[in-house]
Amino acid sequence: MSRFQFEQDCEVRDIALLYGVVAGDHFPLPRCAALIQDADSHDEVVDLSIYCGLDRRYEEYFGIDFWKIFAKPSLNEFAALPVEVRGIFRRTLISCYKNRRIPQVCFLTEYTNHLPMDTREYVNFYGSEHHALLSAYLRGEEMPDNIRTSPAYYNGCPSSLIVSEKPVQRPHGITRDANNNLHFGPTQKLDFEMEVGFYISKPVPRGRRVPLEDAIQHIFGFVLLNDWTARDMEDYERKPLGPSQSKGAVV
Amino acid sequence: MSRFQFEQDCEVRDIALLYGVVAGDHFPLPRCAALIQDADSHDEVVDLSIYCGLDRRYEEYFGIDFWKIFAKPSLNEFAALPVEVRGIFRRTLISCYKNRRIPQVCFLTEYTNHLPMDTREYVNFYGSEHHALLSAYLRGEEMPDNIRTSPAYYNGCPSSLIVSEKPVQRPHGITRDANNNLHFGPTQKLDFEMEVGFYISKPVPRGRRVPLEDAIQHIFGFVLLNDWTARDMEDYERKPLGPSQSKGAVV
């Protein structure tokens, strides 16, 4: 069987494929799905577990039970597969869609989105020197020179990650008013920044460093997110350990 | 059935009971266990799943499948039970031990320790004003006044948590030497502080604050830990987002 058998009839222009996790009335346990955005027609959502249960080529070719991997409430197992395997799967799925070779029973019409990955850790970086410079300016400080040489980040709370369109609750905390008096209560300065998140998906053994040229094996994909911050709480708590409660409510 | 039936013959003096997760040659999948330290004899380790599978009083009384809860590789499910339930279980187990009512098959002689809980988030606080004052002094800074009014903490990496007696790898990072030159390499100033960790075990719905008087429902127990820090990396990276890589290798 040729290595590129899955790819030979690919025609991926004008089609975007987004992975996600969804649940619905007929499948209350969240499971993996793919949103296919086709410039020539309306969007379609494919239940990946049903699809791979019917089309066993993937299983036969790779020796991997794709239908089991996709019957889970997160994409973690799929995301940890080698990037080449995921690439062939992706191109073949798009090709099958273009050639109308996905059975109708695989398409979902009613569903709700869930978090796509079971995220156990996340770190929040400055995206650029300009971002760090602006933040320092807003704090009335100089930009530390480590920004130019090493990643500047803090560890976030994975429990603050919520899926789009869920309500955002105003966090409570301690803030200082213009007269230097302290107050406990809901933030008066809730702010958000639109950011890009990357899913790092392939496990790395403890103490191992990843060479730059292997980075592509570790990045599953990206997601847009809103990083919410209670600025008044952040101003009060930031020194000396960095932001914590002001960033802990929702991302 | 009386509420205190399990407690009536308790005699807990001189006995300590520590929960943990262990694996061994005959049970390679980690599972829950209790270490009983008895001033009058040597320590004993009880396989809690086998024990609760044989003594069904707990199941009958509480309507909870304790043997299933303890057959897991973490104490999370047990820890999330109401503190009253855990208290009765604990006192009854100690009483049974004192009265030699634990079958011999429940005792383990060879085992290795694993992490007791599946920890998805952890935060690291200043333990006291003195701790914060000393840290500020060592940095050559004033102690921020938020230390006296609000919890000062940073989010740690759960993946840095390892069980006792595992080797500690020296983290690599960027440091600045006395001539202001930057270097990438293993830390030259690896330091540790002995700290006390508390396991917060009962899930709290998003956005809910826990009243102080309910705190006892949420604390499962405590553990001693070493908090390792690469001080030279910390000095370089600390501003403005707090410690990150210098604290990310091992706890």
SS3 A26: coil
Same domain, A101 and A172: no
Phi-psi region for residue A185, left (φ > 0), alpha (ψ -120 to 50) or beta?
left
- Predicted confidence (pLDDT) at residue A213 exceeds the cutoff of 60: yes
Q: Say yes or no to pLDDT of A4 above 80.
A: no
Domain that holds residue A214: 156-247
Q: How far is CA A73 from the centre of its chain?
A: 14
Cβ atoms of A4 and A12 within 8 Å: the answer is no
Kindly report the average pLDDT of chain A as a whole number: 89
| Interface residue B182 vs chain A (CB under 8 A) | yes
Q: Using CA coordinates, name the residue in chain A closest to B146.
A: A237
Whether A167 and A105 share a structural domain: no
pLDDT at residue B187 tops 70: yes
Instruction: Say yes or no: A97 and A168 in one domain.
Output: no
User: Which chain A positions have a beta carbon within 8 Å of B123's beta carbon?
Assistant: 244
Answer yes or no: are the C-beta atoms of A113 and A19 closer than 8 Å: no
Active site residue B131: yes
Give the per-residue pLDDT at B1. Answer: 29
Most confident of the ranges A11-20, A221-230, B8-17: A221-230
Catalytic, out of B114, B131, B172, B218: B131
Please give the ipTM for the structure prediction.
0.83
DSSP A135-181: HHHHHT-PPPGGGGTS--EEE--GGG---TTSPPPPPEEEEE-TTS-
CB B125 within 8 A of CB B153: yes
Residue B84: CB atoms within 10 A of its CB come to 11
pLDDT of residue A1: 29
> Taking 90 as the threshold, does the pLDDT of residue B62 lie above it?
yes
Inside any domain, residue B71 = yes
In this structure, the answer to whether residues B101 and B9 fall within a common structural domain is yes
- What are B155-176's pLDDT values in tens digits? 999 999 999 988 888 999 999 9
Residue B103: name the closest of B53, B143, B155, B156 by CA: B53
End-of-domain residue from the set B114, B136, B166: B114
Q: Say if A127 falls within a structural domain.
A: no
d(CA A227, CA A190): 11
- Name the pLDDT band for B148 (thresholds 50, 70, 90): confident
User: Would you state the pLDDT for residue B9?
Assistant: 41
Partner-chain contact A243 B242, CB within 8 Å? yes
Count of domains for chain A = 2
Task: Confirm or reject contact between B245 and chain A (CB < 8 A).
Answer: yes
The per-residue pLDDT for B110 is 92
What percent of chain A has pLDDT above 90? 65
pLDDT mean across residues, chain B: 89
Give me the pLDDT at residue A6, please: 42
Is the residue at A227 inside a domain? yes
pLDDT in tens, A21-69: 999 878 899 999 999 998 778 899 999 999 999 999 999 999 999 999 9
Per-residue confidence (pLDDT) for residue A207, from 0 to 100: 82
Please tell me chain B's helix, strand, coil percentages from 3-state DSSP, rounded to the nearest 5. 30, 30, 40
B24 and B102 housed in the same domain: yes
- Which pLDDT value is given to residue A190? 94
**CATH code: domain of residue A64:** 2.30.30.230
Same-domain check for residues B11 and B98: yes
Domain boundary among B80, B98, B114: B114
Using a CB–CB cutoff of 8 Å, tell me whether B127 touches chain A: no
